[in-house]
Amino acid sequence: MASDISSSPAQYLRLRHGCHVWQQPGGWRMSNAGLVSGRGESLLIDTLYDLRLTRRMLDGFAPVTARAPVSTVVNTHGNGDHWFGNQLVGDAEIIAAQASLADMRAVQPRDMTRLLSAGTPAGQFARQIFGRFDFTGIRPALPGRTFTGDLTLDIGGVCVRLIDVGPAHTAGDTIVHVPDARVVYTGDIVFAGATPVVWHGPFDNWIAACELIFGLGVETIVPGHGPVTTQTMLHATRAYLEYVHDQASIRHARGMTPQEAAHDINLGRFASLAEHERLAVNVHTVYRELDPGLPPLDGPQLFGCMAELCPQISL
């Protein structure tokens, strides 16, 4: 049975020009959500991993949404911690990048329940990091509107730009830019204080997404996970991606397997990042870039690789 995380620390932050944040503590799947409010309506950026957390987030935003109800929801990508709570805002228009919708259809709550019940190292690892969440009662509410490239919205007089920068973290990754506020909600293009995980790649696209965000001239970055930050965190994200790609490429040339390479890489100044076991996924993604014939691993296999790299996980 999932432990009660509905009382775990979370913080409501008001930024500027109608921008707000629901910031959760870091860690696997404890993601952030955002809200952009205009005259008489608001745009919600992501829901959370289960219904309890999403209800608490919506209650936290209630002082704003009481006068500016949520008319639009944007899911930044297809990982469940950014959309499993969609049913609680089902009256709003839900938007996502076209590739994100495909990811949502591929991995749904029932798949997480199946992984958690598996009697394998991957299942054990998943229970350690996801056992706190409750997937019961979730009815997948998929986006009814998709886009490719850029999409500009008017939210009660506030200009909001949706930019699909994927494939990178996943097959489709949307950042939400509010130009007048000089704020960007990055989804999982930025993990503040934690290890980026490259489920899809290519690495070059993620690095290009960092460069694109630099070019927006924003002052405030709301990451998918971790505390609200600045462009300094973009430099750190780009540096990690470049380092891992270089180190994995060297070991690929030496004939090491992806798992051998992941165990061999010294993370150096990146070793202090949380969730460093994600290196196993990232190395495998580099190998698939270098050798397109390498069969992709499914979710349980990737979790098995992380469990092997970091068998002692404590919550």
The mean per-residue pLDDT over the stretch 158-183 comes to 97
- pLDDT band at residue 100 using 50, 70 and 90 as cut-offs: very high
Give the per-residue pLDDT at 82.
97
> Residues 33-53: pLDDT tens digits?
999 999 999 999 999 999 999
Nearest to 28 by CA among 231, 306, 222: 306
Residue 204 covered by a domain: yes
Number of domains in the chain: 1
Give the per-residue pLDDT at 129.
85
Tell me the average pLDDT of the chain: 93
Q: How far are the Cα atoms of 77, 98, 143, 194, 232 from residue 81, in angstroms, in the given order?
A: 9, 18, 15, 16, 25
**312 has a pLDDT exceeding 70:** no
- pLDDT band at residue 314 using 50, 70 and 90 as cut-offs: very low
Give the per-residue pLDDT at 311.
55
The mean per-residue pLDDT over the stretch 199-205 comes to 96
The mean per-residue pLDDT over the stretch 239-249 comes to 98
**182 has a pLDDT exceeding 70:** yes
The mean per-residue pLDDT over the stretch 80-99 comes to 96
- Name the percent of the chain lying above pLDDT 90: 81
Residue 205 covered by a domain: yes
> Residues 106-151: pLDDT tens digits?
999 998 898 888 888 888 888 988 888 999 999 999 999 999 999 9
Whether 34 and 185 have beta carbons less than 8 Å apart is answered as yes
Q: What range does the domain containing 215 cover? A: 11-242
Give the per-residue pLDDT at 3.
46
Residue 286 covered by a domain: no
Pairing, β 183-191 against β 220-225? parallel
Q: Which amino acid is at 162?
A: L
**298 has a pLDDT exceeding 90:** no
Q: Among 79-83, 258-262, 264-268, 302-306, name the one with the lowest average pLDDT.
A: 302-306
Residue 17 covered by a domain: yes
Task: Give me the CATH number covering residue 111.
Answer: 3.60.15.10
pTM, 2 dp:
0.94
Give the per-residue pLDDT at 1.
37
- pLDDT band at residue 8 using 50, 70 and 90 as cut-offs: low
> Residues 272-282: pLDDT tens digits?
999 999 999 99
Give the per-residue pLDDT at 299.
85
Give the per-residue pLDDT at 29.
73
Give the per-residue pLDDT at 7.
52
Residue 313 covered by a domain: no
**4 has a pLDDT exceeding 80:** no
Residue 218 covered by a domain: yes
Give the per-residue pLDDT at 309.
87
Residue 135 covered by a domain: yes
What is the 3-state secondary structure of the chain?
CCCCCCCCCCEEEECCCCEEEEECCCCCCCCCEEEEECCCCEEEECCCCCHHHHHHHHHHHHHHHCCCCEEEEECCCCCHHHCCCHHHHCCCEEEEEHHHHHHHHHCCHHHHHHHHCCCCHHHHHHHHHHCCCCCCCCCCCCCCEEECCEEEEEECCEEEEEEECCCCCCCCCEEEEEHHHCEEEEEEEEECCECCCCCCCCHHHHHHHHHHHHHHCCCEEEEEECCCECHHHHHHHHHHHHHHHHHHHHHHHCCCCHHHHHHHCCCHHHCCCECHHHHHHHHHHHHHHHCCCCCCCCHHHHHHHHHHHCCCCCC
Residue 270 covered by a domain: no
